[in-house]
Amino acid sequence: MRYKSEEMKEKIISSVESFFLTHHRTPTITELTGLAGLSRGRVYYYLKELDQEGRILYDGKRLETPVTRKASPEVDLSPILGTVACGQPQYAEENFESYVALPTIIFGDDAHFILRAQGNSMVEAGIEDGDLVVVRKQNTAREGEIVVALVENETTLKRFYLDSKRQQVRLHPENREMEDIYVDHCYIQGVAQHIIKQVK
């Protein structure tokens, strides 16, 4: 049993490092459960044991191995806060999943959060169902930027425009089969900065 336990620990370390070298970030707990073929509880158990043994660094947020520590620049841990509609707006739901380490050399020191895209209204902008959208937290946007907009307690991910003729905000889907959404007011929660493609 001890041999199998040690074998699994080695597999977890190897999985984290292989994932990091491919995706330039460490995997989330959910991703690691798939890579290791274990439940979230077992993955957490092994990570804590490896941390206690000094073979990795894991504090519930940050996950580092000797390989990732050497290769990783300064990072900022940004939370995954649930889903955002890439279709019709849906009820705003903040459902914390985990953290993703974002290199500050790329994203800077601005506050970011991450949402999981749901729907297909932004496919022509390269945002597919299940992708992670890195969002810079801000309450203003320039025309043409992709924003997370709160419309009457519902969130949606769309390209932002001001329609001077209608005197309304136009939220434009990047899918030619869908129509624009016109609203009198919306609250900008952030601007999309980067897409992390779904691991298939």
DSSP string, 130-195: T-EEEEEE-S---TT-EEEEEETTEEEEEEEEEETTTTEEEEE-S-TTS--EEES--EEEEEEEEE
Q: Of 9, 15, 78, 158, which is the active-site residue?
A: 158
Residue 85 and residue 137 in contact, taking contact as beta carbons nearer than 8 Å: no
Three-class DSSP category at 2? helix
The yes-or-no answer on residue 9 being catalytic is no
Q: Alpha-carbon distance 59 to 170, whole Å?
A: 43
Sort 76 into a burial class: Cβ within 10 Å, 0-12 / 13-18 / 19+. Answer: middle
For tokens 């519902």, the residue is: 154
Q: Alpha-carbon distance 86 to 174, whole Å?
A: 9
Sequence length of the chain is 200
Q: Of 15, 78, 98, 121, which is the active-site residue?
A: 121
The yes-or-no answer on residue 14 being catalytic is no
State the catalytic residues. Answer: 121, 158
